[in-house]
Amino acid sequence: MAHDYEVLATEPVYDGHVISLRLDTVAMPGGGDSVREVVHHGGAVGIVALDDDDQVVLLRQYRHPIGAHLWEVPAGLLDVDGEAPVDAARRELAEEVQLSAQRWSLLTTHHPSPGFCDEKVLLYLAEGLSPVDRPEGFVVEHEELDMTVQRVPLAEAVQWVFDGTIRNSLAAIGVLAAAQLRATAPRLRPLDAV
């Protein structure tokens, strides 16, 4: 029989620009309760951009929490009020790698770290790529000034996942999902699914 994990109390700890942290006291099976640290994150999108030669657009970006550069797919926060996730993906593709796409598909929806964080990431496939200018008002700054953009054949990017060159979970999921899509053509959900 399923247990109802009722939240008995919530204590805010930190409220930042990207994340907040709270302590939830939760009723546990068999009686008693336990305190859970919960990081709230507003969500994000990622884009596997594949060109007509089946090359995936990857970028190498510094990530301070791990003190290293990672190979990633274009991605960004769902931080514009009222913006649909696919529109956020379109915006991020233009901002980060100056591309637009004719065709969009929803590949996956996943929770990268559900043991402590409620972040949800929607991962899109973008095809029919063409160059565009960055959106008006967008300023390249901070770590983005140091980004490297590279197109990598999809099969090679798959190997990068297995040999540890790609360590970013969103990029790994995206590259493997795109390769599986090419290999078996699974049924995808509607573009506006969450």
Higher pLDDT, residue 2 or 74: 74
DSSP conformation class of 98: -
Nearest to 124 by CA among 92, 82, 96, 157: 92
pLDDT of residue 36 exceeding 80, the answer is yes
Which tokens is 66 given?
A: 């791990």
pLDDT grade, residue 42 (50/70/90)?
Answer: very high
**Residue holding tokens 């590279």?**
150
Integer Cα distance of 147 and 134 in angstroms: 15
The CATH code that applies to domain 44-184 is 3.90.79.10
| In the block, residue with structure tokens 């190997």 | 159
pTM: 0.93
Delimit the domains of the chain by residue range. 7-41, 44-184
> Is residue 30 predicted with pLDDT exceeding 90?
no
CA–CA dist 165, 69 (Å, integer): 11
Tell me: pLDDT of 8 over 90: yes
Of 83, 95, 127, 144, catalytic: 144
10 Å CB burial of residue 24 (0-12, 13-18, 19+) is: middle
User: 1 falls in which pLDDT band (50, 70, 90)?
Assistant: confident
Cα 2 to chain centroid distance, Å, stands at 31
- The question of whether 144 is a catalytic residue gets the answer yes
The two structure tokens encoding residue 176: 């493997």
Report the share of the chain in percent with pLDDT over 90. 89
Q: Please write the tens of the pLDDT for every residue from 46-59.
A: 999 999 999 999 99
Per-residue pLDDT tens over the stretch 59-89: 999 999 999 999 999 999 999 999 999 999 9
Q: Name the percent of the chain lying above pLDDT 70.
A: 100
Taking only the tens place, the pLDDT of each residue in 128-174 is 999 999 988 888 888 888 899 999 999 999 999 999 999 999 999 99
